[in-house]
Amino acid sequence: MARPTRGARHTGRATRHPPVTLRTVYEGVIQELIDELGQLPGIGPKGAQRIAFHILQADPADVARLAAALTEVKARVKFCQTCGNVADGDLCKICMDPRRDPTAICVVEEPKDVVAVERTREFRGRYHVLGGAISPMDGIGPGDLRIRELLVRLGSGEVTEVIIATDPNIEGEATATYLTRFLKEVGITVTRLASGLPVGGDLEYADEVTLGRAFEGRRAVHA
C-alpha cells in the first residue's frame, strides 16, 4: 500500500470555488438589460433574467412597440396641475369632469390609489395625490408631500369634506394623523376610511367590495 508523499496533507475538504452569480455568467448588453429590469419594483434577479430572455425571444415588432410605449409614456404623460394624478395634459380627466362633486376631496398617496378608489364606484368627488407618505426612516417629511397644494385648493371655500385614504400602514397612519391635526385648524370636516382594509396592506391590492364597504363606513377623525 502506497504511503502519502511527505509534506502532502489530505484534509478531506472540497476545494472552494467562488460563487457563480448572474453577473459571472452573462456579460455585455444582456447583463445591462437584466440589471435595469432588476431595478423595477417587485422584480428580483431571477425575475429580471426571465423577462430579459423573454424579450430576446420575442418578435422584433413586439419589442419595438414596447420600447416605443416606454419612450412615449415618459414624453407625454404628466402630472395634473390640480390634483397630482397622471394626465395627458395639464389636467387629468377627473378634474376636467364637471359631473364630479367639487365639495369632497379624497386624499391618496399615489396615482395608483386613485384607480383603486375609482373601481369601487362609491366616490364621485375629486382627488388629491400627495406623492407619498411621511416616512422619517426614508427622510420623507410633510414638506416633501403635496400638502401645500392641498391647502391652496381648500382656500377656495368650496370643499366641505376631506377624506383621508392613505395606506393602512405605519407611514399611512402617520400621514393621516398629521393631516387630521393640520386640517382641523382649517375648520373642514375630515374623515378616514373605515374598517375593512387590512392593517399593513396597500390600498391598490384591496378588492372592490372591501374598499367599497370601507368608503361607506368612513368616520370622522378626531385629533
Residue 109: all three cell numbers together: 398617496
**CATH annotation of 22-76:** 1.10.8.420
What b/e sequence results for 187-202 when a residue is b if at least 16 CB atoms lie within 10 Å of its CB, and e otherwise?
A: eeebbbbeebbeeeeb
Per-residue pLDDT of 47-68, as tens digits, reads: 999 999 999 999 999 999 999 9
The helix/strand count (H/E) of the chain reads as: 9, 7
Mean pLDDT across the chain, nearest whole number? 85
Share of residues in the chain with pLDDT > 70 (%): 86
> What is the predicted pLDDT for the residue at 15?
57
Q: Which option is the CATH number for 86-220: 3.40.190.10, 3.30.565.10, 3.40.1380.20, 3.40.1360.10?
A: 3.40.1360.10
Domain boundaries, the chain: 22-76, 86-220
What b/e sequence results for 28-62 when a residue is b if at least 16 CB atoms lie within 10 Å of its CB, and e otherwise?
A: eebbebbeebbeeeebeeeebbebbeeeeeeeeee
- pLDDT reading at 20 higher than 50: no
Per-residue pLDDT of 85-128, as tens digits, reads: 999 889 999 999 999 999 999 999 999 999 999 999 999 999 99
- pLDDT reading at 177 higher than 50: yes
> What is the predicted pLDDT for the residue at 175?
94
> What is the predicted pLDDT for the residue at 13?
57
